[in-house]
Structure 1
Amino acid sequence: MADALELVRSSLDGTICVGLSDGRILTGTFLCLDKQKNVLMRDTKETRLETDQAERHIGLVLVPFQHVKSCHALRMRN
């Protein structure tokens, strides 16, 4: 448990990529997880892979845990 917590802490302010249940992918700066395991991100971009891979900037976003299918750290903070 301590290793998982340390991994989350080291990812704070780093870039993460979150795959959603509807096929969208969100890429942005990881701010925090709340008690319900929702993910808060800033400077977020949304990519839709099923359609035309269009990308749009959506800014600050709270991703409900039930919609998260995958989560990857792309760049950890220093």
Structure 2
Amino acid sequence: MIESRDQLRQWLNHSVRVEITDGRVLIGTFTCTDNDANIILGQCDEYLPPGYPKDPRKLGLAMVPGRHILKLEIMEHKEEEIL
């Protein structure tokens, strides 16, 4: 449990890419989480699945329910390389 908390602390204020169950991708700054794995992203942009406009929508501060998260990854590259 302690190792998990340490890992989450290391992710704070880092850019993350989150894939959710409806096909959207959210990219933002990992701000916090809770016991239910809900996360808060700051400066969040939303990218829609293929077939929709490619331009991101600015969300700002966004709460992502943990039950809808398929994949979460720390970004080390520019957004264009990740998408």
State whether TM-score is above 0.5: yes
TM-score, normalization by structure 2 = 0.81
Structure 2: which 5+ runs fail to align? 77-83
Once residues 51 and 43 of structure 2 are traced to their aligned partners in structure 1, the CA distance between those partners, rounded to angstroms, is 22
Moved over 4 A (4+): none
- How far is 1:2 from its partner? 3.1
1:1-78 to 2 correspondence within 5 Å?
A: 1-52=1-52, 53-75=54-76
Structure 1: which 5+ runs fail to align? none
The structure whose RCO (Cα within 8 Å, separation 6+) is larger is 1
- How far is 1:40 from its partner? 0.6
Q: Which has the higher strand share?
A: 1
Q: What is the percent sequence identity of the aligned residues?
A: 28
Once residues 7 and 20 of structure 1 are traced to their aligned partners in structure 2, the CA distance between those partners, rounded to angstroms, is 21
Letter in 2 for 1:5: R
Q: How many pairs align? A: 75
